[in-house]
A = this chain, B = another copy of it.
């Protein structure tokens, strides 16, 4: 008993490669004894250590951490594990979004069998939608977030496209009407269109509307690409005009 193993044998015993054992040796994770000639010699008790290494590696721990844990005794294990779990869960979240993005794209692509380039667009849309959802979360209350999730289901890419177009058109029309009286019928009609589009997103929910307001106030801190994307809608005069139209509209209504 107390058999001695040479690398190959020991590696197969544990289900790892010889190179890995070399590696762990160099990193100081598992240092076997040696023969005169320098051959590595492992004991069975080394197998336990190796199994621990493999296990922690399976959990995604970097070898450096593993070595530190062995070095400082196994204290703090449960602490490290909690941290590692959070890391893994975060990775899983990202993986899930990626998989969902592909699924959505495939789903939207199969029927028409459109040119592949369209798939890319679709994927970018999906990812950006997820990103935006993620990032805009902080402007909504907990309750509002749930409601936004609900409304999100109605957001097919076709709808999104139509919605973008309607906003663009409306904005252009308002810009053209900046000279008019905000109380005029024309201005009031534009205000009505505006209100309808907003409600198309908020569903008339005050909590969502409030979140939207906060988001707009904070637009200086939006990510660069969002600022880019909304840049066509940054004409302050348009917003002021609509404000006035609403105000007079309310007054006379």
Contacts and interface: CB of A to CB of B under 8 A. Distances in A.
Interface string A81-102: 1101100110110011111011
Interface in A112-129: 115-117, 119-120, 123-124, 127
A223 interface: yes
B85 A91 contact: no
A21 to B, nearest CB: 14
A59 B98 CA distance: 5
Q: How large is the interface on A (under 10, 10 to 19, 20 to 34, 35 or more residues)?
A: 35 or more
A225 interface: yes
A51 interface: yes
A19 to B, nearest CB: 17
Contacts of A78: 106, 109, 116, 119
The 4 closest A-B pairs by CB, nearest first: A77-B116, A74-B116, A74-B117, A55-B124
A88 B95 contact: yes
Given A15-B225, A56-B120, A74-B119, 17 more contacts: A12-B224, A13-B228, A52-B120, A55-B123, A56-B123, A58-B98, A58-B101, A74-B116, A77-B116, A81-B105, A85-B106, A88-B95, A88-B102, A92-B95, A92-B96, A92-B99, A95-B95
A252 interface: no
A27 interface: no
Given A91-B95, A92-B92, A95-B95, A102 B120 contact: no
Contacts of A101: 58-59
A54 to B, nearest CB: 8
Nearest to A101: B59
A14 interface: yes
A123 B59 contact: yes
A157 interface: no
Contacts of A251: none
A99 B14 CA distance: 23
Nearest to A88: B99
A91 B97 CA distance: 13
Contacts of A102: 59, 81, 84-85, 88
A166 interface: no
A179 interface: no
B77 A225 contact: no
Given A81-B105, A102-B88, A105-B81, A120 B74 contact: yes
